[in-house]
Amino acid sequence: MGNAYEIYALRYATMSPRTPHLNFLVPDPHDTTAQDLDYFVWLIRGHGRDILVDTGFNAEEAKARARKLTLNPVDALAGFGVSADSIKDVVVTHLHYDHAGNLDRFPNAKFHLQEREMSYATGRCMCNGMLRHPFSIEHVTQMVRHVYGERVTFHSGDGEIAPGVTVHRVGGHSDGLQVVRIETARGPVVLASDAAHYYANLHKRSPFPIVYNVGDMAQGWETVERLAGHPDRFIPGHDPIVSEIYPRASDKVDAFALHLAPSRSFAK
């Protein structure tokens, strides 16, 4: 394929233990255990460029939220041979704390964000503590500084980052959540981010508990499936199964090659 890219998931943190009510808005009453929550950033490589999707969180944020940080995502990139200074484009799927930290660590990057997410993160909904909780005021204000520094490209709905790399607003989890579709040698792969934290959120049509609009989330699952075109070509945002079924891509950091075929298929 002319615009084929490589995609790598870099795992930088894990949260354990979890209970079913932490992973599903309406959990199965028969379930007593639940999967851990893995945290990733994603690196898209090809055609002489590196595109980063999301920027994770740092040690300060980990301490504030009682999360265990294995490695700062910026250091994970360095361990994978990519310097933060070399990144020219960063797609921020949404502004929650675990996807939009470290925004000050990419001095030469343009940030790609849905206009609706910026409005949501700075608007009247942030007067509600429950909706505000997943956001960090430091991250949001840093993005505002990037806006004033003319370093943000806003997208409204669908947008193109590069030939073969597009973004698509799905909302649901956060009002301006966007997913990323990337052309690879095995076909289009969709980084669903938090449109589905786990494979099971989409497969069972059961939302993750942190949700702004359940209707948008349900429609978002359909959008993800349509954009991917095959059940093995969508990647959930936090599922440890990803690290189990995709080939390891580094002996220095937890990196996994998503452009290669998984060892397990979800096709029925």
pLDDT at 222 over 60: yes
Give the Å distances, CA to CA, from 96 to 72, 139, 188: 16, 8, 26
pLDDT at 67 over 70: yes
Residues 232-255: tens digit of each pLDDT: 999 999 999 999 999 999 999 999
Residues 77-130: tens digit of each pLDDT: 999 999 999 999 999 999 999 999 999 999 999 999 999 999 999 999 999 999
Q: Cβ distance 186 to 260 under 8 Å? A: yes
Share of the chain above pLDDT 90, in %: 96
Compute the radius of gyration of the chain from its Cα atoms. Answer: 17
Q: Cβ distance 217 to 173 under 8 Å? A: yes
pLDDT average, residue stretch 185-211: 98
Specify the pTM: 0.97
Q: Cβ distance 51 to 162 under 8 Å? A: yes
Mention every residue, 6+ apart, whose C-beta is less than 8 A from residue 226: none
Q: Cα(57)–Cα(71) distance, rounded to whole angstroms?
A: 10
- Average pLDDT for the chain: 97
pLDDT at 66 over 60: yes
Mention every residue, 6+ apart, whose C-beta is less than 8 A from residue 9: 40, 41, 42, 235, 242, 243, 246, 255, 256, 258
pLDDT at 1 over 70: no
Best CA proximity match to 54, nearest among 138, 5, 113, 3: 113
- Domains delineated in the chain: 4-166+239-255 (3.60.15.10)
pLDDT average, residue stretch 43-71: 96
Q: Cα(203)–Cα(231) distance, rounded to whole angstroms?
A: 9
Q: Cα(219)–Cα(216) distance, rounded to whole angstroms?
A: 5
Share of the chain above pLDDT 70, in %: 100
Report residue 32's pLDDT band, with 50, 70 and 90 as the boundaries.
confident
Please name the amino acid found at residue 152: V
